[in-house]
Structure 1
């Protein structure tokens, strides 16, 4: 499921659609339960031993308990509250140089052993078609270790009433500020993941994520026209403290937009959303042409995701994703040349699975590889991709980047996008100071609709809020803006990035990939950045 499908479904209150294939509905109180670590280790050893006895040269087992809580409101009503749990074991092996995988939701000793043997049988059957044996980059076993998202308050343990009250307060604030309709949602994820492998690792991880999307609508009853303004929150790898605004930092940006850092005030944002949606109704439509764009991180994260994150996934570069969501223009020959100018010298983009508060932050990936940070683009030059254990040799590297993930114990793990972020500028600059140098431009906040071709080369992006910039000053809101890019041309048009004081995360809670499709959560950090001479179209005119 992608983000747009999720938003559409939540607006209809269709929370039950998100129950996983092996999931079950549970009471909210059951969200506090955990599996016994000793039992997980014992079951893991059963799987490892059974696979070796059946002829596997390598085995890893993931025992997982995946929890979701989902609260949907509209105006003064609660539309849905759903709690789901899915628990089981996924076992991956190499036998005869070939991968095999099997899974079970039965955590009895016999069922786990049976799944391990089945994985080996599948690998041996697959080996008849294998032309080259799997080459795994080495990983040193770490023994028994644990890692947890550094949360201050477990959102799963907060009473449902408190969550409902907060969402209804946000809706009420929007209505009081002039909105005709308001809906808000809270989505919580807790992945309790245990990984063990024949390399000698037993890794217990407790991962938490939170997201509070919101939508406010204002209607002009005289004309029948309406405008929406979505919430400016970002999904985060945090606990419930994210929704306690006194714990975080807020800064007023150009146009009076409030930027949220480590905490989100959904009630304050609801009031602002109603006000800005009303201003949208009377905002003039953009005149198409070339503009200098000042892109807030709440907008730029999606452009990073689509034009850098996806095209530098090595499996996509190699064509493994060609049947679903395309390939990549950033081919190996460009990387091998060591001088492919992906962007200007202001553009340095890195991958980092250790970044605090990010959606993708974990201690170890789903192959037991300790996570790290590495460069993708350095001073504008393409220097690396995103690769896992059986891909590292293609790049001549001796270890995985640690970006392997599965969205469930029942799914096989594969290469997924790490947190891909634009490094802050080295010269001190605030967004206000960046705007002062723009003669004819547009300041864009929030993500909107987008389209991009299968090679991630030609694309078009919208936004949530648009402000005209004239002679270094924000004048007023405008509407119907979308900017068009060719990926290398766009990033080479980057002439400045604000410093680390403005650095913020955006991200996707549901990034789809693979067949059968899986979802993952990934963040993209940046500071506000400027891009000169970008083509802007009028979306209202484009639609006729």
Structure 2
């Protein structure tokens, strides 16, 4: 049910499958090499070689991205290590406008000569494209920032942490699951460091050091008598943080039916819950189809936000320029122009935000040198904006880009990518327990699961990991075989309550696929626990015979 390539390493099986193709992520390196850096002064000299060559050959605009992309995987199963891998990809991508058209070229020859040669090739591509015709590129104005830098505000660089410490953590988590009766357990730690340098003819020289981390696991229990098994994945979120994410803070672990992790993550605690809950799922009763009020935890709701809000508000999908992976969009320009299209209820306030600390999408500047920011997409339930970059801004009357242009690597051209798209917390003080107390017939859903959504991002179906029946304001036990169906506008208009910011948490994905050739980007979606009334729930249990 999952869209191909959507959730990067969300299941451990996916992580294992990545290993044979690590060459696509770059060459293997010694872990200590990941701590090396390139002097920004050298990168400026290299970038200037490309900018000057592009202008000399007739480019009216050019930008140069020098990128060093580092990845580390540590993968375990039960009491053994399956693999440890460290990779590096290093090169330069150059984008230009010549004769009103875009051109792009890339090289892993990171020398002045190699970069100048590549810049000339990009100009030649642009001039060849111009012969086809079409409207000239119209860029929103962008001031140059001179020489600036930005770094993910980490406390502990994951690449500095010894492999042994990471292996010990994962194997300790596996051991806790096995002691709790798990039949199988896998765990994985994935670390990313993007060292990105951007320079443009606008006068920007931007050096950025981006860090991301994802610890995850999957626990399985078997009931041999029934011939059944159930699993529960970790409730961690992939984050834009350092290794400090794995240093639990008691004040930020909110206990309930299941852990609610905010800024830090306790893997050992979560895996103990997961092992117990996988066993409970084996005896959970099957849901009775019908209308229910849904209480959706942020660990679940992030995916619904991604599919039903994030993708349909991408301007290139709205315009029909992009349809890969996720189709186009029902949120056509006429709905936005009307000024009164009720995407959701008045409780629905959704923003695009590339600045949110700890999120996957957080950077200082996007991949065309625009300083990142936060903006309204849905305000009091009304569609008020989209996601746009420099060559799209004029289409919706913007004077500047919203700073959401991104390329997955130096060898790929940058284009419009989803920022962090998040549901804002409710303004009135409201806890999860208080929300549940007011539900007569409902289901509390934790964790993301399978999903299906149409090519206009309108009609959908979502599952989850954990389901709890709510009766007369109380949790009445675990359910199984649950999925809910709705259309996007109907669903978001059924939103009646959002917990306050004490419950606000992030979820997200390392691998949101888009484009052809396809690219992946990392994106987070935040929310507090949210209630939706009268949603249609179906039973997904497969009947045999």
User: Which TM bucket (shorter chain)?
Assistant: over 0.9
Q: How does 1:226-237 map onto structure 2 within 5 Å?
A: 226-237=229-240
Q: Which residues of structure 1 form unaligned runs of 5+?
A: none
In the superposition, relative to structure 1, how do residues 18 and 510 fare at CA in structure 2: closer, same or farther (>3 Å)?
A: farther
Question: Is 1:2 equivalent to 2:12 in the alignment?
Answer: no
- From 91, 103, 112, the counterpart of 2:106: 103
CA contact (8 A) 2:8 2:510 kept: no
CA–CA distance in structure 2, aligned partners of residues 418 and 225 of structure 1 = 40
Please give the TM-score of this superposition, normalised by the length of structure 1: 0.98
CA distance in 1, matches of 2:24, 2:283: 46
Please show how residues 60-459 of structure 1 align to structure 2 within 5 Å. Answer: 60-246=63-249, 249-253=252-256, 256-459=257-460
What SS is found at the alignment partner of 2:75? strand
**Pairwise CA distance, 1:252:** 1.5
Q: Give the deviation of 1:19 after TM superposition.
A: 2.5
| Aligned CA distance change for structure 1 residues 12 and 59 (closer, same or farther; 3 Å) | closer
Partner of 1:35: 38
Alpha-carbon RMSD: 1.4
Alpha-carbon distance, 1:2 to partner = 2.1
**Distance in 2 separating the partners of 1:22 and 1:285:** 43
Work out whether residues 107 and 118 of structure 2, in 8 Å CA contact, stay in contact via their aligned partners in 1. yes
Tell me the secondary structure at the aligned position of residue 239 of structure 2. coil
1:130, distance to aligned residue in structure 2 (A): 2.9
| TM-score, scaled to structure 2 | 0.98
Distance 1:88 1:20 in 2: 15
Whole-Å separation in 1 of the counterparts to 2:25 and 2:422: 34
CA contact (8 A) 2:325 2:513 kept: no
1:66 Cα deviation after fit: 0.2
Distance in 1, matches of 2:38 and 2:323, equals 39
Match of 2:501 in 1: 500
- Is 1:531 the equivalent of 2:518? no
Aligned to 2:16: 13
Query: Could you tell me whether the CA contact under 8 Å between 1:344 and 1:379 is conserved in 2?
Result: yes
Once the two structures are TM-superposed, the CA of residue 15 in structure 1 deviates from its matched residue by 4.0
**Structure 1 stretch 83-92 or stretch 3-12: which is displaced more?**
3-12
Distance 1:494 1:517 in 2: 34
Q: Where does structure 2 lack aligned partners over 5 or more consecutive residues? A: none
* TM-fit CA distance, 1:321: 1.6
Q: Secondary structure of the residue that 2:187 maps to in structure 1? A: strand
Q: Give how far 1:358 is off.
A: 0.4
Q: Structure 1 pair 353/23, CA: closer, same or farther in 2 (3 Å)? A: same
With over 3 angstroms needed to count, the CA separation of the structure-2 counterparts of 1:215 and 1:3, relative to structure 1, is farther
1:391-432 Cα shifts (integer Å, max 9, x gaps): 000001100000000010000000000000001001100000
Task: Name whichever of 221-230 and 139-148 sits farther off.
Answer: 221-230
Asked whether the 8 Å contact 2:9–2:15 carries over to 1, the reply is no
Q: CA deviation at 1:38?
A: 1.2
Number of residue-to-residue matches in the alignment = 542
Instruction: Report what 1:468 is aligned to.
Output: 469
Instruction: Return the alpha-carbon distance in structure 2 between the equivalents of residues 383 and 98 of structure 1.
Output: 30
Cα gap change, 1:229 to 1:369, in 2 (>3 Å): same
